[in-house]
Amino acid sequence: MDFPTSAELFEIAVRKVIATNPKIAEDLARQSGTTVNSLLQAGGLMGSTLVGKIAEVAANSKLSTASGAALRELVWDWFSIVPIGANPAVVPIKLKPSGAKTGQVAAGTILTTAKGVQFTTIDGITWSNEATEKTVDCQAVLAGPSGNLITGSINAFKTAPTWDTAMTVTQPVWATGGSVAETDDELKKRASGFWAVARCGTIGAIEYGAKSVPGIKNALAIESPVMVGSYIIPSVKWVTLYVSDINGQANTVLLAAVTAELLNWRPCGVIPTVSAGTVVFQPINMTVSCESNADTIAVKAKAISVILAYMDNLIYEQKMDLGAIEAAVMKISGVSKTVPPVITIPTLDQIAGSGEIFRTSEDLIMIS
């Protein structure tokens, strides 16, 4: 919808005044500094301010154009959807006393990595004169993807318990689910899918519900026949749900959160099997030619960030399209438009298998 500018409103006012009052000459109305001109200009400015407010209200009444606080208010009013904020990574940690010990690791105890990334225990755990290894769920102190750590990163207490300073800290799986706050565009996309899954109990609803769990970026639900021997039981299906965070990972803590949320989305009598699927890390080698006046270091750094962004947005069972990556890098300022970028590894598009999702990391990308 187009709204009039202050100049257009002034023009309308001039024509109206001339048409209704023959004693006012048009050149006088248009002459800067005259009383009538000043009044008409002021009216145009006031009208422009009012039109601006009307335009703002109109924009904020539509899902496609609303933003910020207005968008959050809109999706809550229409769909009762709350934006997803930044989320800390979660991970189960194994703790093992150095011998038969009696003592407790309380909830809120800080564990750490060698680089100082901190996690806190969610629950307390107690030993009674035993050396048994026990598992405690933990979450990152700071929200965000920085807490999504590979196996073995969390390996010590910030301050070891006094009753056993030699207790072993082991991280057997990835820390997963750390994410930044949902963007306006992501919130709009989630809200626009609401009515398609409002009935619940559908494949789409199960995937939608899974992605409403903070930290879950990807979800894919698949139906499979139920077989007894070689006989397929009619009208009954297994449902397998693959979920992961932005890195393509999910651990038992995150999977449990999804399983609990699915009570609101799955049909009665159907309990989906929730799995992390399989993340396939793909090395990528690319040759990039730069324009003569380009900052080659900055161009290569930007190329790496573009590749990471493309890979992080792949969903389950989506192919890795080399042409799409090359085209995205081609758009970077400073990249030669006459010698296109070429991916040399892999040599062909990569096709994901069942339950697979492609990812890469900065240390797997080589730009030459």
CATH number at residue 249: 3.30.300.30
Residue 65 lies in a domain: no
**225-232: which pairs have CB atoms within 8 A and are 24 or more residues apart?**
none
Model confidence pLDDT, tens digit, residues 174-193: 999 999 999 999 999 999 99
* Structure tokens given for 336: 């030669």
pLDDT of residue 50: 83
Q: Quick one: pLDDT band at residue 49, thresholds 50, 70, 90?
A: confident
Residue 254 lies in a domain: yes
Residue 181 lies in a domain: no
One domain for residues 244 and 265 = yes
What does residue 123 show for φ and ψ, rounded to 5 degrees? Answer: -120, 165
pLDDT of residue 341: 95
pLDDT of residue 42: 81
pTM: 0.76
Using the 3D structure, point to which of 251, 276, 301 is the last residue of a domain: 276
Give the integer Cα–Cα distance in Å for 54 and 58: 6
Model confidence pLDDT, tens digit, residues 96-111: 999 999 999 999 999 9
At residue 40, the 3 state secondary structure works out as: helix
Model confidence pLDDT, tens digit, residues 265-306: 998 888 899 999 999 999 999 999 999 899 999 999 999 999
CA 170 to chain centre: 29
Q: Quick one: pLDDT band at residue 26, thresholds 50, 70, 90?
A: confident
| Domains held by the chain: number | 4
Using the 3D structure, point to which of 112, 138, 170 is the last residue of a domain: 170
Strands 342-345 and 284-287: antiparallel
Residue 175 lies in a domain: no
pLDDT of residue 125: 96
Distance between terminal CA atoms of the chain? Answer: 48
Give me the domain span that covers residue 100. Answer: 90-170
pLDDT: is 40 or 182 the higher one? Answer: 182
Give the integer Cα–Cα distance in Å for 258 and 270: 15
Query: Is the N-terminal amide bond of 234 cis, ω within 30° of 0?
Result: no
Q: Which residues are CB-neighbours of 124 under 8 A, at least 6 positions away?
A: 104, 105, 106, 107, 136
Q: Quick one: pLDDT band at residue 53, thresholds 50, 70, 90?
A: confident
CB 310 within 8 A of CB 358: no
Q: Give the Cβ contact number of residue 289 at 10 Å.
A: 15
3-state helix, strand, coil in the chain (%, to 5): 35, 25, 40
Across the range 328-346, mean pLDDT stands at 94
